């Protein structure tokens, strides 16, 4: 028989507070059209996006995260010192080490929490939320800060007609803490690595480091292009619409709910056509509020779900205590879906 003392965590976990940060610069489609042959009408019809936010030099991954985290901490009614772990999901922190989570933890005055980064693309917030729930229930932390943050403008090829208009910057954060009743449902998550080539970085960092112009993509002026995110749009669209609707339904079933029980649907803000198709496939009732933050924020990858959640609560389109289905999906291809009670 094991001599190890059992963990003493909370029976359940919940989202206690949410915060977001959008860079001050708003970029309309007209700016994107300076480098691609397209139109405002085409971009809106294909993606729903009218504007996005791009970060300035001062609005770093850490700086945006600190702003979003401060709002989430205040919303949760705790102090930074109470945070036992900081989990950051991002693909746009360019230092291999140390993790940006350690810098953020220090800047918010969190003391000495566990701090680490995860790379799960647009599903990263769902992955972080699931890890946080496990820490709370297991007892290794009482409060966990989960951040989704991206500066995708740094990884955007402005000459790529398929992706130049998609990406934006921003940070979203939540505080996860103990609960006496279930407020974060079971997570349905997974990966389909055989489809990893459909969303990827154009050039690996080691290849870019060689600087061999004969082997690297060049811009219209013959300069080596910085690595960027590229995707096979139609393949990703079909996968998201058909496969992710199934995953969303599994998350509802795992939580013991039906579409009629939902108040809010917060999918990853990748593309409004994907959102509309998922709503139709899931047969969501008209009373369900659907997040459409993509229209003015663009695709912010790991930040998109917490940013959309924060805006819905701030505008009154959703309210504390509402039941929300959240699902993220993207590069890998990876996905994560769960049902939560909004803070």
State the CB neighbour count (10 A cutoff) for residue 290: 17
The answer for residues whose C-beta is within 8 angstroms of residue 27's C-beta and 6 or more apart is: 51, 52, 53, 54, 168
Work out whether strand 83-89 and strand 143-151 pair parallel, antiparallel, or are unpaired.
parallel
Is-contact 141 114, C-beta < 8 A?
yes
The number of angstroms, rounded, from the C-alpha of 89 to the middle of its chain's C-alpha atoms is 7
Helices (H), the chain: 29-32, 40-47, 61-76, 100-107, 124-138, 205-210, 233-254, 272-282, 294-297, 304-315
Residue 143: DSSP 8-state = E
According to the model, what pLDDT value does residue 56 have? 98
Backbone φ, ψ for residue 308 (5° rounding): -65, -40
What is the C-alpha separation between 298 and 272, in angstroms, rounded?
10
pLDDT tens digits, one per residue of 8-53: 899 999 999 999 999 999 999 999 999 999 999 999 999 999 999 9
pLDDT tens digits, one per residue of 110-143: 999 999 999 999 999 999 999 999 999 999 999 9
Cα radius of gyration rounded to whole Å, the chain: 20
Is 122 catalytic? The answer is yes
Across the range 146-175, mean pLDDT stands at 96
Across the range 166-174, mean pLDDT stands at 98
Is-contact 337 251, C-beta < 8 A?
yes
Is-contact 216 204, C-beta < 8 A?
no
Residue 342: DSSP 8-state = -
pLDDT tens digits, one per residue of 268-293: 999 999 999 999 999 999 999 999 99
pTM (whole model) above 0.75: yes
What is the C-alpha separation between 222 and 59, in angstroms, rounded?
30
Backbone φ, ψ for residue 10 (5° rounding): -75, 155
pLDDT tens digits, one per residue of 148-157: 999 999 999 9
Structure tokens at 233: 């749009």
Is-contact 123 268, C-beta < 8 A?
yes
- 257 or 232: which leads in pLDDT: 257
The number of angstroms, rounded, from the C-alpha of 175 to the middle of its chain's C-alpha atoms is 15
Catalytic residue among 29, 93, 271, 299: 299
What is the C-alpha separation between 275 and 269, in angstroms, rounded?
8
Structure tokens at 29: 């489609």
The answer for residues whose C-beta is within 8 angstroms of residue 159's C-beta and 6 or more apart is: 35, 36, 219, 220
- Burial grade of 224 (CB within 10 A; 0-12, 13-18, 19 or more): middle
According to the model, what pLDDT value does residue 219 have? 84
Catalytic residue among 122, 209, 223, 271: 122
According to the model, what pLDDT value does residue 138 have? 95
- Burial grade of 238 (CB within 10 A; 0-12, 13-18, 19 or more): middle
Catalytic residue among 93, 268, 271, 287: 268
Is 53 catalytic? The answer is no
State the CB neighbour count (10 A cutoff) for residue 7: 9
Is 299 catalytic? The answer is yes
């Amino acid at each position: 028989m094991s001599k190890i003392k059992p963990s003493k965590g909370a029976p359940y976990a919940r989202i206690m507070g949410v915060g977001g940060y959008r860079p001050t610069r708003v970029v309309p489609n007209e700016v994107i059209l300076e480098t691609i042959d397209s139109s405002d009408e085409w971009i809106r019809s294909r993606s729903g996006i009218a504007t996005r936010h791009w970060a300035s030099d001062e609005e770093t991954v850490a700086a945006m995260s600190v702003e979003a985290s401060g709002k989430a901490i205040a919303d949760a009614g705790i102090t930074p010192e109470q945070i036992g772990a900081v989990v950051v999901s991002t693909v746009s922190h360019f230092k291999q080490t140390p993790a940006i989570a350690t810098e953020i933890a220090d800047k918010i005055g969190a003391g000495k929490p566990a701090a680490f980064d995860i790379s799960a693309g647009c599903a990263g917030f769902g992955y972080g939320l699931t890890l946080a729930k496990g820490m709370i229930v297991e007892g290794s932390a009482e409060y966990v800060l989960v951040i989704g943050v991206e500066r995708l403008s740094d990884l955007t090829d402005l000459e790529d007609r398929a992706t130049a208009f998609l990406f934006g910057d921003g940070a979203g954060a939540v505080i996860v803490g103990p609960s006496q009743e279930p407020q974060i449902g079971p997570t349905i998550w997974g990966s389909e690595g055989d489809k990893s080539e459909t969303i990827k970085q154009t050039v690996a960092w080691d290849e870019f480091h060689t600087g061999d112009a004969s082997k690297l993509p060049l811009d219209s002026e013959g300069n080596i292009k910085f690595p960027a995110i590229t995707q096979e749009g139609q393949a990703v669209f079909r996968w998201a619409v058909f496969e992710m609707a199934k995953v969303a339904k599994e998350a509802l079933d795992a939580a013991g709910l039906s579409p009629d029980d939902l108040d809010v649907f917060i999918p990853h803000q990748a593309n409004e056509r994907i959102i509309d198709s998922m709503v139709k496939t899931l047969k969501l009732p008209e009373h369900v509020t659907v997040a459409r933050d993509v229209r003015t924020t663009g695709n912010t990858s790991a930040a998109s779900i917490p940013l959309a959640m924060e805006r819905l609560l701030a505008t009154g389109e959703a309210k504390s205590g509402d039941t929300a289905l959240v699902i993220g999906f993207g590069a890998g291809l990876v996905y994560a879906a769960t049902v939560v009670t909004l803070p």
